[in-house]
Structure 1
Amino acid sequence: MITDDGCELWTSATGRGEPILCCHGGPGLWDMFGTLDLGPRFRLIRWDQRGAGRSEARGPYTLERMIADVDAVREWHGLDRVPVLGHSWGAHLGLLYALARPERVSALVYVSGVGLGHEWHAEFKRNFERVAGEKPRDDGRERAIWQWTADFVTGGARHAEAMATPWFPVNYEANAALSEEMRTVPERELVSACESLRVPTLIVDGMADNRPRWAVDSLERALPSVRRVRFADVGHVPWLEAPDEFRSAVTEFLTAPHCSG
């Protein structure tokens, strides 16, 4: 598909059921929802964000542009109003899209996000260093597998290998630009915006995630319509470590009356 500013984005629809628009993690990574199974009732609308994976390596890498790209993918697939499921950075992108275009989002599934503030990173770094092994010399795929292995409690190397297949170059320019812009948005500004958001939201946490889960507390307090599910002994990618429990929680939420229409 082509965006309004001429950027070519890769997108795919997997399954035949009700659509869910997925926002992958990063920034600068690509869609890894090929391992996500929500059952036959749902159809996953997947895409690679600009500059990453199978999409064109072209900026600008700004929050405003990324939000516009989410809307472009929704429109390209002919969807009027759709649930949005985001993971990690993609959870934050999904939230920003819901804040910008609430009339287009019927429900938000916020998976392993890092919250509205910016104080979580130091604890994340300490947690990562405690569990990570020796850093490989390779700066590409081997390094990513090493980093992602630490995101799991069990089966880390196997899960990380699956996430790195297929492999694409990481867009560090997009990662740096979007990470820096996120740091410029005050938490109080996001809290105020979330207090007016009427989109039903499910927050999903793996409680063994290296990213501290207290960082999401202010988001939970701010949202008027929110549920939160916590999985013990599960890390950053809960649909890989607890697939049945994750599927059950998400499908129960999305099929509830508050998510219809």
Structure 2
Amino acid sequence: MAGELQDVRMSDGVVLKAKVIGNGSTKTLLMAPHGGPGLSTYKEPEAAYSAFSDKFRILLFDARGSGQSDKKGPLTHARWVDDMEELRQWADADKMILIGGSHAGFLTLEYALTYPEHLHAIIVGDTAAQMSHWGLMNAVKTALVDPRTRDIVDAEQVLRMMSGRLRDFNDLATGFGTISALYAAPPELKAQSETEVDAVLQTTMFPVLETCNAAMGYCLSRYDVRDRLHEIKIPTMVYVGRHDWITPPSVGKAVADGIPGAKFVVYEKSGHFAALEEKTKFRVDVLQFLQESGVPGRY
């Protein structure tokens, strides 16, 4: 099971591609779902979290509708969360650490509300507790005024992307291309970044129109866990990049404030991918958080 992608059949017959890295059957499992359904693949969290494989077993996978997994529905948060639970069982772990950034943070929070008994801790980054109207308006406004995108962005196209109304594959590819520069920290901080975010995005993206539209349209219009955050009683770390364009620090802090005892960390030199841009500090912070929380691991 370790190292190479495996076919894992879900209870409804859908086959997901998944793998576990980090030798050692006694290691604590760390599951890392990817962000951006219909845009991203397992390669994105692999780039961000593979350095933890010396301490934990890391489960990576392409969500249904994304990457090399079956392009079959339902393409909903509830089904994606249930798939994560079935993958935990496949990995033979009673409890695990769950780490997710961006859209994977949404799913991490929803998993924690659905299957808390199977979690040691959660780590969510560059994410939010709701993203419907606020996320749509903020994204369009930012893309129109940021010097990296204002001369190339099509406001109507960004609206279509953020509301799940992209017309075709070309609309998805070109639309994401015009805003992709926003995900990294500002140019004046680029030399301080430990990872070239643009290069990671280019190598981890696998656009799937139907999945992207479902995630950005149907799912985000229904996603709102603000009133339930207080139910999360497990150790939680919330992190965010200071220059995150779509889920800025105020949004991350609202998530942390809603979860009793949550740790909140801001990465001053990062954009939407703090776990990549400040890898060294992120690793130290995560290991310290997990150790102080009493999570089993090789520290």
Instruction: Give the TM-score normalised by structure 1.
Output: 0.88
User: Is 1:183 aligned to 2:221, yes or no?
Assistant: yes
Q: Matches of 1:254 and 1:240 in 2, distance apart?
A: 19
List alignment gaps of at least 5 residues for structure 1: none
Q: Are the aligned partners of 1:151 and 1:236 in contact in 2 as well (CA < 8 Å)?
A: yes
> Quick one: which of 53, 58, 77 aligns to 2:91?
77
> Quick one: which of 79, 101, 111 aligns to 1:87?
101
User: Is 1:247 aligned to 2:251, yes or no?
Assistant: no
Q: Are the aligned partners of 2:184 and 2:273 in contact in 1 as well (CA < 8 Å)?
A: yes
User: Is 1:197 aligned to 2:232, yes or no?
Assistant: yes
User: Is 1:33 aligned to 2:48, yes or no?
Assistant: no
Q: Are the aligned partners of 2:28 and 2:296 in contact in 1 as well (CA < 8 Å)?
A: no
Q: Matches of 2:235 and 2:12 in 1, distance apart?
A: 31
- SS, match of residue 38 in structure 1: helix
Q: Matches of 1:45 and 1:61 in 2, distance apart?
A: 21
User: Is 1:23 aligned to 2:23, yes or no?
Assistant: no
Q: Closer, same or farther in 2 for the Cα pair 1:167/1:209, shift >3 Å?
A: closer
Q: Matches of 2:245 and 2:131 in 1, distance apart?
A: 16
User: Is 1:60 aligned to 2:74, yes or no?
Assistant: yes
| 222-231 vs 124-133, greater mean Cα deviation | 124-133
Task: Give 1:6's aligned residue.
Answer: 13
| 213-222 vs 227-236, greater mean Cα deviation | 213-222
Q: How many residues align?
A: 257
Q: Are the aligned partners of 1:120 and 1:215 in contact in 2 as well (CA < 8 Å)?
A: no
Q: Are the aligned partners of 2:172 and 2:209 in contact in 1 as well (CA < 8 Å)?
A: no
Task: Give 2:179's aligned residue.
Answer: 147
- SS, match of residue 32 in structure 2: strand
Cα RMSD, aligned residues only: 2.6
- TM-superposed CA distance for 1:34, in Å, is 2.4
- SS, match of residue 10 in structure 2: coil
1:30 is aligned with what amino acid? T
| 231-240 vs 99-108, greater mean Cα deviation | 231-240
List alignment gaps of at least 5 residues for structure 2: 1-7, 155-169
1:244 is aligned with what amino acid? T
Runs of 4+, deviation exceeding 6 Å = none
Q: Are the aligned partners of 1:83 and 1:107 in contact in 2 as well (CA < 8 Å)?
A: yes
Q: Are the aligned partners of 1:205 and 1:213 in contact in 2 as well (CA < 8 Å)?
A: yes
Task: Give 1:44's aligned residue.
Answer: 58
- TM-superposed CA distance for 1:166, in Å, is 5.2
> Quick one: which of 113, 119, 124 aligns to 1:105?
119
Q: Closer, same or farther in 2 for the Cα pair 1:233/1:56, shift >3 Å?
A: same
Q: Matches of 1:183 and 1:100 in 2, distance apart?
A: 20
- TM-superposed CA distance for 1:253, in Å, is 1.2
Task: Give 2:262's aligned residue.
Answer: 226
- SS, match of residue 27 in structure 1: coil
Q: Matches of 1:41 and 1:145 in 2, distance apart?
A: 36
- TM-superposed CA distance for 1:150, in Å, is 1.9
Q: Matches of 1:85 and 1:2 in 2, distance apart?
A: 22
- What percent of counterpart residues are identical? 22
